[in-house]
């Protein structure tokens, strides 16, 4: 890894933590902030994640653990509400580097994709529907709700990616570092108990 890639990753990490940007937009904005050409090679997400963890350890060690706990508690509530859809927590909240600016990302595995929307309607939840890239690069529906989190005293986005039940098997394959990219409610409970 060269020094330029590490500088881009460190700048992107600051943007992820301080402004809540996703890795991709943070890396591109880091190029602009550093005055680099847009065609400059970007560091891998693993490198940015390492820098995010280092940044949090240096500048947010006193606040981040409590913020992560609040987000994991909120995720647990939503996983319990939507248990029939086999929810799995992913993203920063699952990986453990989330701050108050992060959203909760849940993958739902449904027999019928519309059933999750019906469940939200039955729970009187307002939601937005978007399309995003899913597990295998295919477009999937994402149902987004914004919930007031008392522990953080602010709204938090909860994003529900809707998958077919058959996608569950491939969703648990380990990432490049051998970590599970997401976990079910029992796995989250183990994290909360630790």
**Per-residue pLDDT tens for 174-187?**
877 788 899 999 99
Asked whether residue 144 falls in the same domain as residue 55, the answer is no
Query: Smallest Cα–Cα separation from 151: which of 77, 97, 83, 90?
Result: 77
pTM (two decimals): 0.92
pLDDT of residue 161: 97
The count of C-alpha atoms lying within 13 angstroms of the C-alpha of 32, restricted to the half-sphere facing its C-beta, is 6
Residue 12 clears pLDDT 90, i.e. is over it: yes
How many residues are listed for the chain in this entry? 194
Asked whether residue 24 falls in the same domain as residue 71, the answer is no
Question: In angstroms, rounded to a whole number, what is the distance separating the alpha carbons of residues 117 and 111?
Answer: 13
Query: Smallest Cα–Cα separation from 161: which of 80, 102, 90, 81?
Result: 90
Neighbours of 74 (CB within 10 A): 20
Of the three residues 41, 59, 77, the one that is the final residue of a domain is: 59
Asked whether residue 97 falls in the same domain as residue 187, the answer is yes
pLDDT in tens, 73-122: 999 999 999 999 999 999 999 999 999 999 999 999 999 989 999 999 99
Helix axis angle for 45-59 and 23-33, nearest 10°, is 80
Asked whether residue 43 falls in the same domain as residue 30, the answer is yes
Q: What is the number of domains present in the chain?
A: 2
Of the three residues 35, 59, 83, the one that is the final residue of a domain is: 59
Asked whether residue 131 falls in the same domain as residue 98, the answer is yes
Range of the domain at 40: 3-59
How buried is 98 (Cβ within 10 angstroms: 0-12 exposed, 13-18 middle, 19+ buried)? buried
Lowest-pLDDT choice from 24-33, 47-56, 176-185: 176-185
Asked whether residue 78 falls in the same domain as residue 147, the answer is yes
């Amino acid at each position: 890894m060269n020094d330029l890639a590490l500088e881009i990753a460190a700048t992107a990490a600051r943007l992820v933590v301080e402004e809540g940007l996703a890795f991709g937009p943070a890396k591109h904005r880091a190029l602009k902030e550093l005055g680099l050409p847009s065609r400059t090679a970007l560091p891998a997400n693993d490198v940015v994640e390492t820098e995010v963890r280092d940044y949090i350890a240096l500048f947010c060690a006193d606040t981040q653990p409590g913020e992560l706990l609040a987000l994991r508690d909120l995720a647990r509530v939503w996983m319990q509400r939507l248990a029939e859809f086999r929810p799995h927590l992913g993203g920063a909240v699952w990986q453990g580097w989330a701050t108050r600016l992060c959203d909760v990302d849940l993958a739902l595995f449904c027999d019928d994709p519309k059933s999750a929307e019906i469940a939200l309607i039955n729970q009187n939840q307002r939601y937005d529907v978007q399309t995003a890239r899913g597990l295998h690069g295919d477009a999937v529906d994402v149902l987004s709700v914004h919930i007031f989190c008392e522990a953080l005293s602010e709204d938090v986005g909860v994003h529900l990616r809707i998958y077919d039940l058959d996608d569950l098997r491939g969703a648990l394959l380990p990432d490049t570092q051998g970590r599970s990219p997401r976990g079910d409610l029992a796995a989250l409970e183990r994290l909360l108990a630790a």
